[in-house]
Amino acid sequence: MTLLVPLLVAQLAVTQADLDTDEPLPQLKGEAKARIQNLEQFLEDWDVQGARTELAELEKLAPADIEPLRYFKGRVAFEEGDYEAAVTELTASGVRDKPGSWLRLVTDTRDIVKDHDRAESEHFIFLYPKGKDAVLVPWALDTLEAIHAALEKDLGFAPPGKIRVEIVKNASELSKVSTLTKEAIRTTGTIAICKFNKLMVTSPSAVLTGYDWLDTLAHEYVHLVVSKKSRNTVPIWMHEGLAKYLESRWRGPAGGAMTPSTLALLGSRVRANKLVPFEKMHPSMALLPTAEDAATAFAEVFFAIQMIDSEAGPKALDRMLSEMAKGTSEKSAVESVTKKKWPEFERAWMAHLKKQPFPAELIPPSAHEKKQLVENGPGKEKEKKKEREVSFGDFAEVAETSARKSAHLGELMRERRRTAAAAEHFERAYLTVGDRYESISNKYALTLLELKKFDVAEKVLRGSLVMHPGSASTNTHLARIALKAKKYDVVKTACLDSLAVNPFDPEVYASLYLAAKALQDEPLKNRAIKALVVLLGIDESRIPEVAKRIEQSDLVDVDLTPKPTPDAG
């Protein structure tokens, strides 16, 4: 069996050079020509304000209708998110509309985003497709504001103006707004991209079991801040190391995004002496020969950044990026903050890697780490339906044959409602593999719930959560147990963790509603109500009745599908 490895995700993609610039040759001379060069440099540096100021100066020098001026007006309008103006200006500048051109990119972006709904917070503009993606809004804006505040503290930088965040429906739309090919998106598992002065993120509805979409928003925002603060001088390895290391800052300390499965993979490579050498990470980590190599490289650079942050004194990352913004090379900047020559730094980094507390054996990635796109999934409708019960029903990921067989038998018994027998088989599987498989732990826990063995079920789920942090299924099942025990704080935490991966499960909001009500948390209750109205398409007045169904359920089959009212026709 091939080992599934979490693919590198949310990477920085395409460089500016990938786009056909196709720009009208500047017929301008003297100061105007110099201004255009500055303008290009500002755009290259991710300094949109600088570009805008330069453009205003250029407008004083050149006739308003000359093509180079209109071209740059279009480019700047695009970075500012004014897509209509960008299309008008680029068209007027005489650039051709062909695949890979700025005009095509800008037109596609306009068409994809034009009917989006919009929400704003102090520092962000959040654009999302009409419909159920509306449930993303409050959590997304909270996360973005939190990472904004954290990075202002850690890196001493906050971008000017409001940052745009655009949700796209699927890989095909992500391809159009990013210029990354669909094939590249699939092979690299890219789910979000930071480019063109904004974040572009695929809706969690495009991924079978959801994905860590809130961490991903934070991750992309780190990329944005790093690009802007350093004036786009940071190479890919350092970019990804910083983004992975700092992405958890919206919810706690840095470094919280390293998962046991990634750590276990890294450990196996350390033991086999098969780390990815630093030189191979150039020019792009996405070009490494296998997904495992890529995942290993990402883990390696995570620890490089962690070591710099923890050993190079206060504000080390802030100082490193500030030096690079002034033109210092990445190696010199690292040497300067770590006070180590590069080869010495590399040796210290490898030593730091090797002393991590690696799990003894490989751990399969959690469901949400795999980020399997709905459109790629086998029989998506079937999978969609099964997803509420951790959808890998055939336990294909279970490497141990005896455990897989026991789990199969357990599932067979469950389907025949022979719960006690099912529990025995799942227990046998569980005793063989422990907490390694999210699927076995959750199925075992469900049979235990059915047998009213709540304490054992909770123990199994807690163990699974250590190995597979963030699992939406595990958290949802834990919320059921806590609700039964009226531990409302626990319900709340489990629900918030669950929706950070799968934000479209009505049960999570119904549990959250009950918890918020008991905790007298009005704002949270209102968020839960709003989400339920969107997801179930019911009137607000019916929510107490629908939420009660969880409490009245057997905790195994929770169904919140609204029953039609008599006059529903």
Residues that bind Zn ion (CB under 5 A): 10-11, 240, 243
> Which lies closer to Zn ion via its Cβ, residue 108 or residue 240?
240
**Alpha carbon distance 493, 305 (integer Å):** 29
Q: What is the Cα Rg of the chain in Å?
A: 25
Complex with Zn ion: residue 248 or 406, whichever CB lies closer: 248
CB of 195 to Zn ion, least distance (A): 11
The Cα 561–Cα 558 span in angstroms is 9
Q: For residue 373, give the 3-state DSSP assignment.
A: strand
Nearest residue to Zn ion by CB is 243
Cβ-based burial of 66 (10 A; exposed 0-12, middle 13-18, buried ≥19):
middle
Q: CB of 492 within 8 A of CB of 509?
A: no
- Closer residue to Zn ion in complex, CB, 85/184: 184
Q: State the Cα angle at 177 between 171 and 179, rounded to 5°.
A: 85
| Matching residue, tokens 């090919």 | 181
Whichever of 10 and 494 has its CB closer to Zn ion, that residue is: 10
Reference 236, options 8, 544, 515, 69; nearest CA is 8
**Minimum CB distance to Zn ion smaller for 109 or for 188:** 188
Alpha helix (H) residue ranges in 28-181: 30-44, 48-61, 67-79, 83-92, 102-113, 137-155, 171-178
Residue 257 CB, nearest approach to Zn ion (Å): 11
Give the helix/strand (H/E) hosting 381. Answer: helix 380-386
Query: What DSSP designation does 170 have?
Result: S
Kindly state the smallest distance separating residue 12's Cβ from Zn ion, in Å.
6
Q: Shortest distance, CB of residue 243 to Zn ion, whole angstroms?
A: 4
Q: Cβ closer to Zn ion: 248 or 475?
A: 248
Half-sphere exposure of 321 (CA within 13 A, CB side): 25
CB of 200 to Zn ion, least distance (A): 12
Of residues 243 and 461, the one with the C-beta less far from Zn ion: 243
- Cβ of residue 61: shortest distance to Zn ion, in angstroms? 40
CB nearer to Zn ion: give 243 or 297. Answer: 243
State the nearest-atom distance from the C-beta of 548 to Zn ion, in Å: 43
Q: Give min distance, CB of 356 to Zn ion, in A.
A: 21
Those residues whose C-beta lies under 8 Å from the C-beta of residue 226, and which sit 6 or more positions away, are: 155, 234, 239, 242, 243, 321
